[in-house]
Amino acid sequence: MSDSHREMPIFTRAFDFLAWLTPMTQHFPRLHRHTITRRLVEAALDLQEALLIANNQRDGDRLAWLDRADAHLAQVRIYLRLAHRLHWLNMGQYQHGAGMVSEIGKLLGGWRKTTQSAVQRQN
């Protein structure tokens, strides 16, 4: 990771979530690996990519990418909740994953708010 990524905790948290999620999904039923499991992992990867792209953008463009990241985070939340409901994650695993997602959401919200303020000051 570049130095700018090390300075921002959101990149570490998103990477840690992916590192936790990927092996966890290997235990999901084979029948659903090409549907729900794939969508969960893709949403998490899309979140990571949107954050990385946002970091290389300025103001309005950054805000648009942060909005995309937020949409991907919402997808992750839904699929994670579904995995728990289907008993693919036990309560402890779900709480751990949901806690990680919640922390990413707080960091993303703060970054988005700061960026939005900067855009408003320019206009």
Residue 123 lies in a domain: no
Tens-level pLDDT at each residue, the chain (123 residues): 444 555 799 999 999 999 999 999 999 999 998 999 999 999 999 999 999 999 999 988 999 999 999 999 999 999 999 999 999 999 999 999 999 999 999 999 999 999 999 888 887
> What pTM did the predictor assign?
0.90
pLDDT at 2: 45
Task: Burial-class residue 14 by CB neighbours within 10 Å (0-12, 13-18, 19+).
Answer: buried
Residue 87 lies in a domain: yes
Residue 13 lies in a domain: yes
Task: Identify the domain containing residue 57 by its residue range.
Answer: 3-118
